[in-house]
Chain A
Amino acid sequence: MTARLVLQSADITRALTRISHEILESNRGASDLVLLGIPTRGIVLARRIGEILDSIEPGSGTVGFLDVTMYRDDLAKNPTRAPSPTQIPAGGIDGKTVVLVDDVLYSGRTIRAALDALNDIGRPRAVRLAALVDRGHRELPIRADFVGKNLPTSSSERINVRLLEVDGVDEITIEGGDA
């Protein structure tokens, strides 16, 4: 199976920069913003966005991570999954604008689980979603507020997101399909 390179390191950086500015724009500034990355690569992206926000408006990049394993709707259908840690920043999420950060938005079920998890943790003023890649094929009425790249795919294809901090390189590839 051949993998097509669709985004390189520089493309990813540009996309994240744009997303960071869009977040600030839609929030009219940096106050009460909390970024929560969804493990594993969502955490990396949330941190990077946090750094960019900090470079624009110092102190604005409040970052944490939210594990959604316990809230998945497919627990009984797969082998037992080990959960990952959840870390909510010191100020909590009550009354804040939470921006969920994930690498790929696909069926929307992960985000549905994240919304349920947030519900048990507190009551944000608003929840937004930033996704590096939106590959379509939504199964639930969920949409991303901030998207790095729209990549329409067929369901037989696979999108691979690799990030420097986890995989040693920044790139996004597509493989498979009815080639």
Chain B
Amino acid sequence: MRIIGSLAALLTLTHLLAAHAGAEPATGLADSAALRATVYGTPPQDIAPLPAVVPLDEIDIALPWARPLPAVLWFDRRLRVWFSAQSKPAPLAIVISGTGDDGNTAKLALLRATLYGAGYHVLTLPSPTNPGFIAAASSTGVAGDLMQDSHDLYAAAHEIIAHLPARVRITDVDVLGYSLGGAQAAVLKSIDSVEHRLRIHRAVMINPPVSLFAAMNRLDELFAISVGPGEEGIDLLYRRLYVRLGNFYRANDQVRIEDTNLLAAAGAVLRTDADFSAAIALTFRIELTNMFYAGDLYAGTGVVTDPRRPPRPGDSTDEVVRRLLVKPFSEYFDQVFVPYYLAHRSGSTRTSLIAESRLDIIADALRTNPDYYAQTNADDLILDRAELDWLRSTLNGRIAVYDHGGHLGNLGDRQQIADMLDMLAGRWAEAGR
């Protein structure tokens, strides 16, 4: 089983490259520092104070509105979320993951620790774009619609909270999320202002996109620039990185790949801006393959799976992965997402669906309700200048914009956490910023 240990080490390496990239960055030529921060995240010595012990429960829940489960997603029958309970009555913080991520990422663990330390019960949820969520909690199976996905998330959160043991006493409910989860957190609150089932008090968006569609397209562009088109692009990137890793191990006499060497290995593999861009773009593309596959399967669009011959768990997926890796978000949008919503939402057009992927759908609430907050970075890869300005003016001062950090590259640092806790507690305005 030593074998699996080394494997886990390697998975950690990809996580190091992937989890830190996390989501949907990039405006073509982002600056070096932003790219590196996005990939590496906050250095451990800059992390906010953390509690010694955080209790943790794993919750699995079957949701009645889930679509019939395809055989190949047998392991995703129940939605899996994580919960940390205070022993006394306390406010609940619901935290939503970023694009493609599950409900227990390193970023979520960091937020959980700081929130628990500040006295919250903490519930962490996967992104509605995560295949586990799509299978177990999506009412459509086709992820990517800001409002619909948030409705599913809202219903799931309500169901989970209703099932919590009686000893958990909740005094207030706040919601936050990072990246795409940030935008969904705000939408969740706006849904709640109509439905009143969760009684959400405040919402904090951490590095949210303003336009989902635009952010995704920027990633496609980044992929095109840093990896190149088609299978050759991916093959060249693979060879480049393999050669570097191979030579690193040759030069260092390290005949076993273990945890301790991973940071050094990552440093040897990723060197130029193009490498960091490629790591970010590829990470996102890999998340997209999952979402694309699930959407295609549920909507029966037949792009990579034949709706008349549903795939079986024993089937090889080599060919499917090869084909999906070269497909950008735009193909998902035009071949799966748009056809599905045109058929299921009357009066929709491609243009209206793009418009509905913007935070504008809740602009009035963001503008007038003082309980919405945001944190972002001036060099966040998923925003352009106009979008950042839109956030500033719409939130009217209820936003902290840090100079550096790229996309989520400062998540968990002392300033970000202190501000986040101030916002959640309603102390932000009083702080006189």
> Do chains A and B interact in one complex?
no
Residues of B at the A interface (CB closer than 8 Å) are none
